[in-house]
A and B are shown apart, each in its own frame.
Chain A
Amino acid sequence: MIAYKFLRADGTGAFTGFAWPPPDGGPGRWVDAPAADPCRTGIHACRVRDLPYWASRVLYEIELAGDVLEHGTKVVAPRGRLVRRIGAWDDAFRATYTRWCADRAHEIARGSGLERWREVIEPSISEGPALLGFVAARIAEAGAGTEAYYAERARQSAWLAERLELA
């Protein structure tokens, strides 16, 4: 299965600190985990629809092998290797996406009469795309409920998929 994985700028995992073998003219070395157990052990990655929840510094396409578990906003497998870096996800793109999320947040707040929520948008921009994606979805939720939250998340995924040319 092909999925996606965000890493820190130094190529380590955000929560484990694991240094991923990078692609080098071809896929990186396979990494094996003792098992696939969501949030405990295993190779954790995300589908296109999960990207907004995990947005971070660098993005890779990852090949997962073995029994892949789908769990909430992630997938977990016993084996994986980085296939290629998604070069389009760079600092400029991150800034563009963050700005788009901020603009969406303003638009939703205006349309829902949630003017006070707008105060949190601009000060949050420096913290990046993951926060702004959450802020936009959270404002949508405050205005129109849980479905609006997930609808905004889906809109963010679609925006990313189209511009990053991900399946």
Chain B
Amino acid sequence: MAEHVTCQEVVELVSDYLDQALPAEEASLFEQHVNFCDGCDWYLDQMRSTVATVGRITEADVPPQTRDKLLAAFREWKRP
């Protein structure tokens, strides 16, 4: 089968794509999909906006209670 990326794979790969951590071949397939899929294009835009917004927040900006909740959530998080 020719190589394709599905919408679900776009969701799974988006962080690596934005971090430029995908191998070039995979990044190219990712971009081909985003080029024709409006839904994934919007999703990528949303993720970019989120990263740009959250990236401006420092540790000191996060209230202690929120920080504790986030840390607890990350401790229990398991990759599916």
Chain A residues close to B by CB (< 8 Å): 14-15, 37-40, 53-56, 71-74, 127-128, 130-131, 133-134, 137-138, 141, 145-146, 149-150
Query: Are B37 and A131 touching (Cβ within 8 A)?
Result: yes
New contact pairs (9) apart from A73-B32, A131-B37, CB-CB < 8 Å: A38-B28, A39-B28, A39-B31, A55-B36, A56-B35, A71-B24, A134-B36, A138-B4, A150-B2
Query: Are B1 and A39 touching (Cβ within 8 A)?
Result: no
21 contacts between A and B (CB under 8 A): A14-B31, A15-B31, A38-B28, A39-B22, A39-B28, A40-B20, A53-B35, A55-B35, A72-B28, A73-B28, A73-B32, A74-B28, A127-B36, A127-B38, A130-B35, A131-B36, A131-B37, A134-B32, A134-B36, A141-B1, A145-B1
Q: Which residue of A lies closest to B29 (CB)?
A: A72
Q: Tell me the residues in window 7-48 of chain B with beta carbons closer than 8 Å to chain A beta carbons.
A: 20, 22, 24-25, 27-28, 31-32, 34-38
Chain B positions within 8 Å of A56 at CB level:
35
Q: Which residue of A lies closest to B1 (CB)?
A: A146
Chain B residues close to A by CB (< 8 Å): 1-2, 4, 20, 22, 24-25, 27-28, 31-32, 34-38
Complex CA–CA separation, A149 to B31 (angstroms) = 18
Q: How far is the CB of B13 from chain A (nearest CB, A)?
A: 12
